[in-house]
Amino acid sequence: MNTEADPIRVQRAKVADLVSKGMRLGSALYVLSSVIFFAGFMTGFTRTVVVLVVGLIIVGSIFLAPAMVFNYGVKAAERADRNDDW
């Protein structure tokens, strides 16, 4: 039995870890922007509130969009390994 780890699976696990962190960070930034948006809705939108909401959505998208794409890729690669249908 081969006790050495497959280098591709090790790399895929590293990418999956980064994807997980990116999705959590991007989602957290979206939630924070929603909280600030509703706080601004209740108290009145100031320039600061608008800049924060838009900025958080942009930064959240920068983290979340690539993480979602790479998440799909990692899951597809794992599925292909399981089914041996490369």
Whether 6 is in a domain gets the answer no
Q: What is the mean pLDDT of residues 74-84?
A: 91
Whether 1 is in a domain gets the answer no
Give the separation between CA 24 and CA 2, rounded to whole angstroms. 35
pLDDT at res. 43? 95
Whether 8 is in a domain gets the answer no
Whether 79 is in a domain gets the answer no
Q: What is the mean pLDDT of residues 34-55?
A: 97
Whether 22 is in a domain gets the answer no
List, for residues 2-22, the tens digit of each pLDDT value.
557 889 989 999 999 999 999
Confidence of residue 85 (pLDDT cuts 50, 70, 90): confident
- SS3 assignment, position 85: coil
- SS3 assignment, position 61: helix
Instruction: For the chain, give the mean pLDDT.
Output: 93
- SS3 assignment, position 6: coil
pLDDT at res. 2? 55
Domain that holds residue 40: 28-65
| Total domains in the fold of the chain | 1
